[in-house]
């Protein structure tokens, strides 16, 4: 059976999992799990990837991530090699730790982000040992389990600084007490009721989403003429864009005058998008961005980016437009001047 395509593009969301070779344990104790999370946090930082949820089971793990740079393969390669090396050194062993390469599903964040996050957090009580337990016992076992990101979703005091809680909780009304309470009920409801695995939707093609999202992905990224099924139509952004070039290309893509976009005092949507793209792909700090777009201070840049992020969460069409601009910029970045 042919493997599902590995589709990469800026801003994509993925469920990722790896299983131990021969189904053997990849965690022998809490120290292994601590090392795993340390290596994960470092890889997230290096590759500018955001982690939304995770679960560490005895012989496999689950991650829910988003890749602003469209670089899942590079991130996972670095992370898996890092942890394998540390695990082998600690346990005086050699060879592969995982059973083949990682598996991933591209996620339609607008419609399935919550369900996939819940699926990951429920993994500990899906084990056979819990099959005969009632909902109350399962819930108590789940909140005691130390190998997932769930505690930080239920209590701000139990948060880990390498997890991006805000994105999932934005679907529950926000990263606040009410949002955390609603997420708790969302998890508990699934324990009380039989829930289908949302990842089943991606069997065969690797995309967990509704028909319009699947159609958009296939139309935009799947090159049917490619000789290899591993080749998507769009290649991910492989290197930084020089800020001045990024500004020029962005201005051309949105059909705006460069000087107008960078004028101090303007609060246009396009200007906020430019700031976000400079932050993501220009690798600039917010003070540096401020100097490029009219000499504003870092707080003005931060506020503009936050307003944009709220709009992107609330307006799917705007989010799609922003993603397509990022994709176009990644294509243009391959053309040498």
3-class DSSP state of 224: coil
The residue written with tokens 């307006």 in the block is 315
* pLDDT reported for residue 4: 55
Q: CA end-to-end span of the chain, whole Å?
A: 43
204, 4 in Cβ contact below 8 A?
yes
Query: Rounded distance, CA 155 to CA 291, Å?
Result: 38
| Chain segment 139-183, per-residue pLDDT in tens | 998 989 989 999 999 999 999 999 999 889 988 988 899 999 999
Q: How far apart are CA 207 and CA 211, in angstroms?
A: 10
Supply the DSSP symbol for 212: H
Which residue ranges in the chain fall short of pLDDT 70? 1-5, 223-241, 264-267, 282-283, 331-337
Q: What are phi and psi of 106, to 5 degrees?
A: -75, 130
d(CA 100, CA 39): 20
**What is the domain partition of the chain in residue ranges?**
12-213, 243-332
The pLDDT value given to residue 39: 95
CATH class, domain 12-213, is alpha beta
Per-residue pLDDT reduced to its tens digit, 108-126: 998 899 999 999 999 998 8
Please tell me the predicted confidence (pLDDT) of residue 279. Answer: 78
Please compute, for residue 171, the number of CA atoms within 13 A of its CA located in the half-sphere on the CB side: 19
Would strands 103-107 and 207-208 be described as parallel, antiparallel, or unpaired? parallel
Label residue 134 left, alpha or beta by phi (over 0 means left) and psi (-120 to 50 means alpha): beta
SS3 55: strand
DSSP secondary structure of 125-150: GGSGGGTTS-HHHHHHHHHH--SBSH
Fold classification of 243-332 (topology level): Chromosomal Replication Initiator Protein Dnaa; Chain: A; (1.10.1750)
Answer whether 147's CB lies under 8 Å from 177's CB. no
Distances (CA, A) of 211 to 108, 214, 220, 270: 10, 5, 14, 29
Contact 250, 325 (CB under 8 A): yes
Give, as one character, the DSSP assignment of residue 56.
E
Task: Give phi and psi for 17, each to the nearest 5.
Answer: -145, 150
């Amino acid at each position: 059976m042919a493997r599902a395509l590995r589709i990469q593009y800026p801003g994509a969301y993925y469920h990722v999992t790896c299983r131990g070779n021969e189904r053997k344990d990849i965690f022998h104790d809490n120290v292994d799990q601590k090392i795993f999370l340390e290596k994960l946090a470092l890889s997230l930082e290096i590759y500018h990837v955001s982690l939304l949820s995770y679960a560490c089971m005895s012989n496999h793990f689950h991650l829910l991530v988003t890749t602003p740079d469209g670089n899942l393969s590079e991130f996972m390669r670095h992370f898996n090699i890092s942890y394998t090396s540390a695990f082998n050194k600690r346990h005086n062993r050699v060879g592969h730790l995982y059973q083949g390469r990682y598996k991933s599903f591209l996620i339609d964040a607008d419609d399935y982000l919550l369900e996939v996050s819940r699926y990951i957090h429920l993994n500990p009580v899906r084990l056979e040992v819990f099959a005969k337990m009632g909902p109350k016992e399962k819930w108590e076992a789940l909140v005691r389990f130390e190998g997932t990101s769930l505690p930080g979703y239920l209590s701000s005091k139990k948060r880990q600084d390498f997890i991006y809680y805000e994105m999932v909780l934005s679907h529950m009304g926000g990263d606040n007490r009410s949002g955390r309470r609603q997420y708790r009920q969302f998890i508990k409801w699934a324990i009380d009721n039989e829930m289908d695995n949302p990842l089943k939707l991606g069997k065969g093609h690797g995309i967990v989403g509704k028909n319009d999202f699947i159609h958009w992905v296939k139309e935009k990224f799947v090159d049917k003429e490619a000789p290899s099924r591993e080749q998507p139509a769009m290649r991910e952004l492989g290197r930084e864009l020089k800020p001045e070039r990024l500004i020029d290309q962005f201005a051309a893509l949105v059909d705006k005058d460069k000087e107008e976009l960078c004028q101090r005092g303007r609060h246009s949507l396009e200007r906020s998008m430019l700031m976000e793209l400079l932050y993501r792909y220009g690798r600039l700090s917010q003070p540096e961005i401020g100097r490029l777009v009219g000499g504003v201070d870092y707080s003005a840049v931060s506020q503009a980016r936050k307003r944009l992020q709220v709009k992107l969460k609330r307006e799917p069409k705007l989010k799609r437009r922003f993603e397509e601009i990022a994709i176009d910029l990644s294509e243009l970045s391959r053309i040498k001047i």
